[in-house]
Amino acid sequence: MLMPPGKFFTMFHFLEYPFSRGETHIVSPDPYEAPDFDAGFMNDERDMAPMVWGYIKSRETARRMDAYAGEVQNMVNFPFVSSATCTNSDICSTHSTRLIRQPVLKIWIL
């Protein structure tokens, strides 16, 4: 998808100390042979809860920023009933919204 003309910002989150671990193995005595490499990204389920929490918080933070003017359409397709879906185009209301409670987060933390 091509981005429409305009100014945009993005937010991201990451785990400084994930439980997931990757590995690299030498597969040949040839130093130019590519090693067997597995990043191990998200291969431990304990990393999921903090990643979900970070994603929810980054969306909440973005919606409260003065620079926020809505989302690019069709970038992420959430179910209509999901509270992660941005359905309010009124920026004043968006900035005054209180903390969005996510039942999914409670499930992952418990």
Q: What pLDDT does residue 100 have?
A: 46
80 or 51, greater pLDDT: 51
**Looking at residues 43-60, what average pLDDT do you find?**
89
Structure tokens at 110: 């418990």
Q: What pLDDT does residue 4 have?
A: 72
Sorted by sequence, the CB contacts under 8 Å of residue 80 that are 6+ apart come out as none
Residue 104 has pLDDT above 90, yes or no: no
pTM beyond 0.85, yes or no: no
Closest CA to 69 of 88, 83, 96, 85: 88
Percent of the chain surpassing pLDDT 90: 31
